[in-house]
Amino acid sequence: MAFLSQTPKQLPPPEQLPQHIGFIMDGNGRWAKKRGLPRKFGHREGAKTFKKIVRYCRNLGIRYISFYAFSTENWKRPEDEVNAIMKLFDQYIDDVRGFFDEETRMVFLGDKSKFTDSLQKKMYALEADTAHYDQMTLMIAANYGGRDEIAHAARALAEQVKAGTLNPEDITEDSVSANLYTAGIPDVDLLIRPSGELRLSNYLIWQTAYAEFYFTDVLWPDFDEKQLDCALIDFASRNRRFGGV
Ligand code: IPE
Ligand code: IPE
Ligand code: MG
């Protein structure tokens, strides 16, 4: 009776699943190139994978998922590629409103000020409209850089010191965390990067301090539920010591 459950038997029990999964959505360009298509087709296909994986995580009961969609360094890319990605963001924000039914809170990580006014407005509106949902928090990192985020937090703390509301000796790991874009969100437990690259590329560098890493050669547009199952099974077998014994 294989159809009784959509979840393969070997998946770990819920208590062994990560609370926060971070995805670096990489390999879109190579996926398109392999097919002789312009890179933007890869981004379009990658956006479909994003939706598929969000739904699957929702079904699995994962509480926090974050996706690296556009880095502070990605502005270096050709203008037409950047424009195509911005257009996709715009379309996707309209599209993900469908997730409302699924009680998903949406948060954008990164510096929104570089986006057009209309895109910024849509981002803020989506965050505000979903702020009360608590089943799952879905984060999209757009114009996000881990170093930029830490510098941003340092400025915010410095302002509080300047205003006399914070003593320098009270700056702790917790107060730094509370001033990151991910304020209030637990650290990454499992970080998944497809496409064969073995690096963070400036993604959640503070929040992945004790994350488990899972790398695969599969390109993001080809990433699917089965790949995620493999990562989850692998994650459950890791011995997380956090510096202890
Ligand atoms: C990731 O795919 C998406 C973004 C960075 C926006 P890439 O566009 O980096 O794809 P590759 O790495 O060139 O294949
Ligand atoms: C990281 O991928 C950024 C995103 C996936 C959004 P990149 O393709 O930009 O990373 P590098 O350049 O290979 O390190
Ligand atoms: Mg890449």
Cα–Cα nearest to 28, from 81, 79, 93: 81
- Asked whether residue 123 carries a pLDDT value surpassing 90, the answer given is yes
Provide the whole-model pTM: 0.95
State the average pLDDT for the chain: 94
Query: Does the CB atom of residue 146 touch ligand 2 within 6 A?
Result: no
CA dist., res. 180 & res. 139, Å (int) = 13
Query: 114 alpha carbon to ligand 1 midpoint, in Å?
Result: 20
pLDDT band (50, 70, 90) for residue 98: confident
Query: Does the CB atom of residue 191 touch ligand 1 within 6 A?
Result: no
Q: What is the pLDDT of residues 36-90, one digit of tens each?
A: 999 999 999 999 999 999 999 999 999 999 999 999 999 999 999 999 999 999 9
Asked if 160 contacts 166 with a C-beta cutoff of 8 angstroms, the reply is yes
CA dist., res. 181 & res. 30, Å (int) = 30
Indicate which residue's Cα is closest to atom 11 of ligand 2: 201
* Mutate-to-test residue for ligand 2 from 71, 140, 204, 219, highest number of ligand atoms within 8 A of CB: 71
Q: What is the pLDDT of residues 163-190, one digit of tens each?
A: 999 999 999 999 999 999 999 999 999 9
Dihedral sign (CA 146, 222, 40, 76): positive
Taking residues 213-242, what's their average pLDDT?
98
Q: What pLDDT is stored for residue 96 in this prediction? A: 81
Q: What is the pLDDT of residues 8-28, one digit of tens each?
A: 568 999 999 999 999 999 999
Q: What pLDDT is stored for residue 9 in this prediction? A: 61
Q: List the catalytic residues.
A: 26, 74
The closest ligand to the CA of 28 turns out to be: 1
Indicate which residue's Cα is closest to atom 1 of ligand 1: 26
Q: What pLDDT is stored for residue 146 in this prediction? A: 98
Taking residues 83-100, what's their average pLDDT?
87
- Asked whether residue 4 carries a pLDDT value surpassing 60, the answer given is no
Query: 198 alpha carbon to ligand 2 midpoint, in Å?
Result: 11
Query: 211 alpha carbon to ligand 3 midpoint, in Å?
Result: 21
Between 3 and 202, name the one with better pLDDT: 202
* Mutate-to-test residue for ligand 2 from 197, 204, 208, highest number of ligand atoms within 8 A of CB: 197
Instruction: For 129-158, give the DSSP string.
Output: HHTT--SEEEEEEEEE-HHHHHHHHHHHHH
Taking residues 103-123, what's their average pLDDT?
96
CA dist., res. 23 & res. 232, Å (int) = 13
Q: What pLDDT is stored for residue 245 in this prediction? A: 94
Indicate which residue's Cα is closest to atom 14 of ligand 2: 201
Q: How far is CA 4 from CA 12, 109, 229, in A?
A: 17, 38, 18
